[in-house]
Chains A and B, each alone.
Chain A
Amino acid sequence: MCLAIPAEVTRLLPDDTAVVSIDGVSKEISVALIENLAVGDYVIIHVGYALTKIDPEEARRTLELLRELSTEGQGVVQ
């Protein structure tokens, strides 16, 4: 399974890294693959890399879906 999780960029760091918030949990990731990234942008992350920027509304819907699945499955994306 290859779930890709939306995350909000909260801080840009040197060396193409950034801190993102995934539903309230902070994580440092590589943003080497994305140009012109700003705090407040949403990105899809996978195995520690931001893969692409996404629309905030789309990110919100995806996070809602993941929460719904988490409630149903109790543990998939807890």
Chain B
Amino acid sequence: MSLALIDVTVLLAGSTIADVAILPRSRPPLARLFAGKPVSSLRSVLLRLFSLCSAAHEVAFLSAFDAARNETAPPEVRKARIDAVIAERLTELLRGFFVGRLTLGGSSAAAVRALMRATTVLGGGIAERREAVLQIREALTALGGAGGAQQTWPGSVLAAHLSGLDGDALLLPAVEQSFLTAADDLDVVLRLLADGPAFSDAPDLDGQIPETGVWARQAWHAPASPLVAGPADRLKARSAEVALLCTRLETDETAADVGVVASYWLGPGRGAAAVECARGRLYHVVEIDGDRIARFEFLAPTEWNFHARGPIVRSLRGSALGPGRQGRDAVRALVDCFDPCVGVSLGFREVGHA
């Protein structure tokens, strides 16, 4: 059983990245598996299959199903769904930040264990959530986070990790960036409905492949996003979002929740939903026949970011690598920044000198 890794090969001409090849990968054939099944039986399938982002998939599925029936869930249900998505987003950002990126040993492993243990109760009531956020802040402090969005304690494991990513190990070219937003939702779900897997395997919007995820979200708030976004910039953006999400869950202030979950009625028996999860915007489209699924399509954020002509390829092509392992480590760090959840098999191949 393979672990559904994405194969990314960096093609080098001397110290310059000539190109990046991303192999298309198989996706679970959920459309075939779901067709004809009762809606009630599919929730558990999604939870089991996508255990890392189960809340996002569950909320997307339920919201799309509501939309297909042309119904709107009560406000308290919609709020609970958004809370679940935000709690899971925080969990996945923290896990992606620390697990597999830092050397976990001794006190840092204990702190990360405490951090991840605290995230397991984020889905509770407001009192439990506040206690969990308190524990998360304590664990972050133990790991070297100074509590602020982009500050770290000097000498900490976190500071050492971030400082290792600054400098000239990877000199990225300036490239025009484009970002997926909630304003694109309707175009995306209509394309999903029209083209199905042909679209969800390699999506585009008028030929463009926008980026989605943390860096895209920070760009919504800072439209003058820099044209060069290295691994340190991206990890700092993730750190800033972690701080925002902690505050959101602690205060229950919902003003910034716009677009976290959106649903769309697409005609009789057809509905769609978009959910802003850790990796970016996740889409589900359902067509129902009574209480059974007649058709199911989904589009994961990964398909944009790891598109063969997508943001990773655009960012890396033309970059200059520093000597030795440092340059290659910086490429690995950059690729990891695009998605806190997927596993990537990264390789380098010489294709001749520039």
Contact = CB atoms under 8 A, between A and B. Distances in A.
Contact of B104 (A1, A33, A51, A77): A33
A5 B109 contact: no
A47 B1 CA distance: 14
Interface in A30-69: 30, 32-35, 44-49, 51, 58, 61-62, 65-66, 68-69
A23 B49 contact: no
Contacts, number: 101
A31 to B, nearest CB: 10
Contact of A51 (B32, B49, B50, B99): B99
Interface string A1-21: 111110000000001100000
A67 to B, nearest CB: 8
Interface residues of A, number: 37
B33 A68 contact: yes
B95 A51 contact: yes
Given A2-B52, A62-B48, A33 B33 contact: no
B207 interface: no
A1 B310 CA distance: 16
B1 A25 contact: yes
B218 to A, nearest CB: 21
B342 A66 contact: no
13 contacts: A2-B342, A5-B3, A46-B341, A47-B100, A48-B100, A49-B99, A58-B48, A61-B48, A65-B48, A68-B33, A69-B49, A72-B29, A75-B26
Given A4-B52, A33-B116, 11 more contacts: A1-B4, A1-B25, A1-B342, A2-B50, A3-B4, A3-B50, A62-B49, A62-B51, A65-B48, A73-B28, A77-B4
